[in-house]
Amino acid sequence: MSESEGSVQVVGTAHVSAESVREVEGTIEEERPDVVAVELDEGRYSQMRGGEPEDLSAGDLLEGNTVFQFLAYWMLSYVQARLGDQFDIEPGAEMLAAVETAEDLGIEVALVDRDIQETIRRFWSRMGLFEKLQVVGSLAFGITDPRIAGVMFGLLVGVVLGPVLGVFGGAVGVTQSLLVGLTGSALVGLLSAYVLAELSFRTLEDDALALAVAGGGGFAVGTLAGVGLGLTDSLVTGYLGGFVISAVGSMTLGLAAGLVVGVAVAGAMSLFGDDGESTDEEMEELLDPDELTDTDVVTAMMEEFRQFSPGGAEALIDERDAFIAHNLLDLRAQGKDVVAIVGAGHRAGIEEYLAHPERLPPRESLTGQRERLLPWGKIAAVAITGAFVAFFVLLAMAGVEDRFLLELFAAWFVVNGVFAAGLARLVGAHWPSALVGGSVAWLTSVNPLLAPGWFAGYVELRYTTVNVGDIETLNALLDDQETPLMELIDRMFEVPLFKLIMIVALTNVGSFIASFLFALYVLPPFFGDIGGVSAVPRLLIEGAQNSARTIWGWVA
């Protein structure tokens, strides 16, 4: 170190430890450095000082991953806030103490961390698909009653199983008479459940009990009237066509089977899972606040993530060590004596870089989007788009009537639009948002990178403002153990961020379900006009041959 260089003292703190606050204040007052560097970026610093949280713009939403990045940020924030409540200390209090102490002493403050949105974006992009599902799932299962989570899992199984039974049910003994009975059971059961729900929620104080009464009563009445006694058979066969009976009946059977699976999963989760009280007790035993100075809570959690997501841990921990070290080296090179306040989990990595600056990765590699050698997502999207266009072109070249192709496209457009717009509207989207999402839902199959939920969310942002401050509101709601479940859900939907996430997610889910159901239910009978499904490969080959002859004729 030359004479003109300054020095850097790194203080590692635990983000939820009251002892860390006292240590930070004491160190700064004793050392009186030229600069106090803190593990904050401009956005978090502004919010900590009472500034307005950063809004989510419509343009950001159309980048595609913004909502999922918010989910990742929410998960990290929720865990830290939960620990802060447990130990009666505000998360980040030691950073605020460092800033206030420096200002009181007239010491310069330097914000040396990377922008949080950049970190979360890189964190999210580095994880694989299954790792992302685990992150989102850990949040969902961490804040949801295990019984509800189990039943929801079963319903998802049923949604997938239903169409499969509709196509292959005959091979496993699903008869037409059974489908007729199931269709009647579904219609009567839904009507009964609606009536019972209206009565139960008005007379019972326990929302969970009211849901159980409505669901169980509707199921019992529907099963008895339809499958049990066959009271609805004549109405079903008289007013509903074979396609509707097959679709509704098989979906009902699939959902019933999925519900059985869900109840079993819920039972297992309730039997082997822990309630919130025991979880808090375990947290106290595992994380003694007096020992938290040896570890940064968020980083400790991410070290566990490193086992299944090295890329995610790299973005959240290793890259930030390097980024902070770059800034501290710059301050040291200016001849400044620096006290750096960072999470204890970052201390070792930063000090290693300070001792060996030659090991630092280039600063430009720590920001921006890392491009893959082969953008497989874009390649797959282009391939699917080409296949979709080729399908219609080849059928046209094979001599299939334009009327058939137009009707096929119209059916595809309507089925996707109804499901996507319907689910968006179900979770509170404004009509323009739902209609825009529904109108572009068919594009999901043409280009999977263009999810309809983005467009629905884009329009929804005309009616509301979403920012990272919503995450604190959601955390407070999730910690509410007194409010009845249904009221708590209603209050969560009043938070713009949660509502936007649900609109984006359900619009995409609706389009996905519609695509699945269309392929299994609508296409087979639709192709009856051209000789059935078995005739499609022949027509595509014939269309390719005719196209080749036409192109050869142009060339020759």
pLDDT for 555:
79
Cα distance between residue 395 and residue 402, in whole Å: 9
Average pLDDT across the chain, whole number: 77
Over range 66-71, report the average pLDDT: 60
pLDDT for 285:
46
Over range 190-208, report the average pLDDT: 81
pLDDT confidence of 525, banded at 50, 70, 90?
confident
Phi then psi for residue 145, to 5 deg, are -55, 125
Who wins on pLDDT, 138 or 234? 234
**The tokens 């609606």 sit on which residue?**
194
Q: Are 340 and 324 in contact (CB under 8 A)?
A: yes
Indicate if the pLDDT at residue 108 is higher than 90: yes
Over range 489-507, report the average pLDDT: 84
**CB-based contacts of 465, cutoff 8 Å, min separation 6:** 55, 496
pLDDT for 277:
46
Three-state DSSP at 108 gives strand
pTM listed for this prediction: 0.62
Q: Where does 105-145 have alpha helices with state H?
A: 116-126, 129-143
Who wins on pLDDT, 364 or 376? 364
106 CB-contact burial (10 Å; exposed 0-12 / middle 13-18 / buried 19+): exposed
Q: Which two tokens stand for residue 383?
A: 């391939």
Q: What is the DSSP letter of 171?
A: G
Cα distance between residue 344 and residue 296, in whole Å: 5
Closest CA to 359 of 369, 367, 349, 346: 349
pLDDT for 375:
59
Cα distance between residue 296 and residue 292, in whole Å: 7
Q: What is the DSSP letter of 364?
A: G
Three-state DSSP at 440 gives coil
Cα distance between residue 123 and residue 265, in whole Å: 31
- The predicted-structure confidence for 365-417, as pLDDT tens digits, reads as follows 888 765 555 556 567 667 767 777 888 888 888 888 888 888 888 888 898 89
Indicate if the pLDDT at residue 257 is higher than 80: yes
Cα distance between residue 494 and residue 474, in whole Å: 10
**How many residues in total does the chain contain?**
556
- The predicted-structure confidence for 296-343, as pLDDT tens digits, reads as follows 454 555 555 566 567 777 887 889 999 999 999 999 999 999 999 988
**Terminal alpha carbon distance of the chain:** 77
**The tokens 């990272």 sit on which residue?**
468
pLDDT confidence of 33, banded at 50, 70, 90?
very high
Distance of CA 451 to the CA centre of its chain: 13
- The predicted-structure confidence for 263-303, as pLDDT tens digits, reads as follows 787 777 666 554 444 444 444 444 444 444 444 454 555 55
For every residue of 313-341, DSSP letters joined together read HIIIIIHHHHHHHHHHHHHHHTT-EEEEE
Q: Where does 41-145 have alpha helices with state H?
A: 42-48, 58-61, 66-86, 93-104, 116-126, 129-143
Q: Are 464 and 430 in contact (CB under 8 A)?
A: no
CA angle 175, 178, 180 (to 5 degrees): 110
Closest CA to 109 of 340, 342, 344: 340
37 CB-contact burial (10 Å; exposed 0-12 / middle 13-18 / buried 19+): buried
Q: Are 510 and 442 in contact (CB under 8 A)?
A: no
Alpha-carbon distances, residue 476 vs 74, 150, 277, 481 (angstroms): 12, 24, 17, 10
